[in-house]
Amino acid sequence: MQVADIVAFVGHVMPEEGGYIDQIGKKSLSMLRSLGLPVTTGLLVGLDDVSAKKKSEVKKSAQAALQSELLEDTKMHVADSQEECQQVLRHLAEQRLSNPAWRAQRPFVVGNQLEYEEDSSSPGTGILRLAGYVRSRAISVNQLVHLAGVGDFQLKQIDMVEDPCPLRQQKRHTSGDVMQVENDPGAQKASSSVAANAAVQEPLIVENTPDDLAGEQTWPTEEELAQAGKANRRKKKRVLPKGTSEYQAAWIVEDSDQEEGGDDDDAMEGDGLDDQAMDDDREGSEISEDDRKTSVWDDDDDTRSEMMDEENLTLEQRKAEIERLKAAHAADEEFPDEVDTPSDIPARQRFAKYRGLKSLRTSPWDPKESLPFEYAKIFDFDNFVRTQKTVLAKAKELDSCTQEGCFAAGCYVRLHVLKVPASKAELLLKSYKTNPVVVCGLLQHESKMSVLHYSIRKSEGYTDPIKSKELLVFHSGFRRHHTRPIFSTDDLNMDKHKFERFLHPGRFSIASVFAPISFPPLPLIVFKESDLPEGVSMVATGSLRSVDPDRIILKKIVLSGYPLRVQKRKAVVRFMFHNPEDVRWFRPLELWTKYGRRGRIKEPVGTHGSMKCVFDGVVQQRDAVCVNLYKRVYPKWPQ
């Protein structure tokens, strides 16, 4: 289907129990639509078995049912008798062919003849000679090619050989005893060869070679130290709580910043928040400066008595209390990102890679910060859209065939593909007569690794869950590769996107993978290995969105606690942390409740992680107090 010029759909005029198209046919149609269909036509069979009175009615109903499932411009033909089949052939011969957009950008050759010769200088590899017609657009001997199902390779040379099935026969004239042959003026010279030019041939580069010393820094000079000292002295002095470190101080937003970005607070993500109720309750209930300086509680004796009861709880009783409270709140609302704070590991160690954000939409996050080692192996573009326009313009110049080593579309050529593994070539030689072997010309940079983002949607017929980083098979254009994608939300006008643990049905998500660079438009079909007779199941479809290693994907977790004692805007919250050191560590973070309150941590209470909190409105006893934490996640490197 990837190289077909015309696709004919055959249907029976008498529907079966499932209709004119069964479940397998519907799955196939869904996959073909995602891949992109060329010229299509419909054939109806079985009309001879219908009585003469009902033929017209049965034909109309079958055409209406099948055309609704096929493309709008698909014409239906009856193909029962030999005369009707001949009419169909004449109709197909007159069709104007058109390729899908992704296929029209790249030249490709379908192998009619295959030969393999081992390379004595490189054991285990050799030269694969593949003969066929150049299709779609011109191909150059200096560009890289992709052998479908095998990988990317360079060309040694291209031979222009005689066409075995010429469209125009050579005209012969006899003059006396001499026979003259008149060739087609548009035909190219046969039996000519062009070798690759090493000076202009595109190199086969897959991964970047990382420099281990690239991140090293030299000791600053005296002038740089002096400038840094002046910059520190010019900084505005901030009033911070006692014992606050510089790292914690970076999380605290000053009053001036809050006034400038007041609308950004509403944009902060918190599952279960009623935005309208939060805005109504916030009016006239902001935390005053006096409340910040005074004690949270006026009656400390009552607080101490409540805390003494909690101090006497055993570990089993504490766990039972946590489970009881979670079960009570689960009936009201779900927390898809909620995680349990471990009791045996300090939270500041367990969540050391996480950080808090004032607003997921507006808070800054450096895309170059703390990147994994795999990012040193990939390539990035300063401007991907501009690079794509340049690459496509160069590919269009090849169609004029003014450069040396170019062969126009329609030529019959023989490609010499270098360094093809012998094991792969042996399989191709056995199956190329039944399974077409396709060699596709690659655009510039399309052999290099980067981070690709696909817009995908889960198939309606697949009901099993698809987890992030699960092994899947991506069919993208002529390429196929096994990968472990991560899923994220498809947010507009945002530089940060929320990580999704599963691919949710009914909406589009973004799948990010490490893969060779490709330029859109490019279709995508996702398969997963299964126990079915086919061996795989189609689980999702989509298309290539962009190539961008700087796309930030954040995994969000929610730590939750529950009020033990409430007094208007003040509360003692427990079970969010399990030791006072964690409370002090996470004190700069902003708290939120499922009923729309915002607040902050005042100080720890006791030795079991309880804490005093103050909010911007009255807190209810049945409320749940939460805090959001984020960390950046990355795709897994393909094995």
64 within some domain:
yes
User: Same structural domain for residues 545 and 590?
Assistant: no
CATH of the domain at 271: 2.40.10.190
Six-digit token string for 570 = 């003040």
Of 64-68, 457-461, 507-511, give the range with the top mean pLDDT.
507-511
User: Same structural domain for residues 496 and 602?
Assistant: no
* Residue 32 main-chain phi, psi, to 5 deg: -70, -35
pTM: 0.76
Which of 441, 461, 479 finishes a domain?
441
* pLDDT, tens digit (0-9, with 9 covering 90-100), for 481-501: 999 999 999 888 888 999 998
pLDDT band, residue 248 (cuts 50/70/90): low
* Residue 114 main-chain phi, psi, to 5 deg: -130, 140
User: Same structural domain for residues 61 and 118?
Assistant: no
As a whole number of angstroms, the distance between CA 74 and CA 95 comes to: 12
Instruction: Classify 508 as helix, strand or coil.
Output: strand
Angle at 361 between CA 355 and CA 362, to 5 degrees: 85
Instruction: Classify 229 as helix, strand or coil.
Output: helix
Place of tokens 């004690």: 295
DSSP 8-state assignment for residue 340: P
- Closest alpha carbon to 163 in 487, 407, 336: 407
- Closest alpha carbon to 478 in 105, 221, 73, 140: 105
* Residue 471 main-chain phi, psi, to 5 deg: -70, 120
Cα 199 to chain centroid distance, Å, stands at 36
Least confident of 147-161, 239-253, 383-397: 239-253
pLDDT at position 615 over 80: yes
* Residue 190 main-chain phi, psi, to 5 deg: -85, 160
User: Same structural domain for residues 82 and 42?
Assistant: yes
Dihedral of alpha carbons 541, 545, 549, 554, sign? negative
User: Same structural domain for residues 84 and 119?
Assistant: no
The residues facing 410 across adjacent strands are: none
* pLDDT, tens digit (0-9, with 9 covering 90-100), for 357-376: 988 888 999 999 989 999 99
User: Same structural domain for residues 142 and 40?
Assistant: no
Instruction: Classify 102 as helix, strand or coil.
Output: helix
Give the domain range for residue 539: 448-550
pLDDT at position 385 over 80: yes
Sorted by sequence, the CB contacts under 8 Å of residue 636 that are 6+ apart come out as: 469, 483, 484, 486, 514
pLDDT of residue 77: 85
479 within some domain:
yes
Q: Give the count of beta carbons closer than 10 Å to the beta carbon of residue 66.
A: 21
User: Same structural domain for residues 537 and 564?
Assistant: no
* Residue 517 main-chain phi, psi, to 5 deg: -60, 140
* Residue 400 main-chain phi, psi, to 5 deg: -75, -15
171 within some domain:
no
Write the secondary structure of 366-428 as one string of H (helix), E (strand) and C (coil). CCCCCCCHHHHCCCCCCCHHHHHHHHHHHHHHHCCCCCCCEECCCCEEEEEEEEEEHHHHHHH
Six-digit token string for 337 = 């990102």
- Closest alpha carbon to 153 in 593, 541, 447, 506: 447
305 within some domain:
yes
Q: Give the amino acid at 225.
A: L
pLDDT at position 296 over 90: no
* pLDDT, tens digit (0-9, with 9 covering 90-100), for 3-28: 888 888 888 877 776 677 777 787 88
Sorted by sequence, the CB contacts under 8 Å of residue 325 that are 6+ apart come out as: 562, 575
DSSP for 169-202, written as a single string: PPEEEEETTEEEEE--TTPPPSSEEEE--TTTSP
- Closest alpha carbon to 502 in 463, 468, 458: 468
pLDDT of residue 508: 93
pLDDT at position 129 over 90: yes
CATH of the domain at 519: 2.40.30.10
User: Same structural domain for residues 409 and 518?
Assistant: no
The residues facing 10 across adjacent strands are: 43
360 within some domain:
yes
pLDDT of residue 250: 61
As a whole number of angstroms, the distance between CA 272 and CA 334 comes to: 7
Instruction: State the maximum Cα–Cα separation within the chain, in Å, rounded to a whole number.
Output: 128
Instruction: Classify 615 as helix, strand or coil.
Output: strand
As a whole number of angstroms, the distance between CA 497 and CA 512 comes to: 12
pLDDT band, residue 214 (cuts 50/70/90): low
User: Same structural domain for residues 521 and 578?
Assistant: no
Which of 78, 98, 118 finishes a domain?
98
User: Same structural domain for residues 525 and 583?
Assistant: no
DSSP for 534-570, written as a single string: TSEEEEEEEEEEEE-TT-EEEEEEEEEEEEEEEETTE
370 within some domain:
no
User: Same structural domain for residues 435 and 462?
Assistant: no
pLDDT at position 324 over 70: no
Number of domains in the chain: 4
Characterize the bridge pairing of strands 406-407 and 523-529: unpaired
497 within some domain:
yes
As a whole number of angstroms, the distance between CA 619 and CA 626 comes to: 13
* pLDDT, tens digit (0-9, with 9 covering 90-100), for 574-600: 999 999 999 999 999 999 998 999 999
- Closest alpha carbon to 555 in 453, 466, 633, 634: 633
Which of 550, 580, 598 finishes a domain?
550
The residues facing 114 across adjacent strands are: 130
382 within some domain:
no
pLDDT of residue 269: 39
Dihedral of alpha carbons 314, 316, 322, 328, sign? negative
Mean pLDDT of 65-69: 77
User: Same structural domain for residues 203 and 258?
Assistant: no
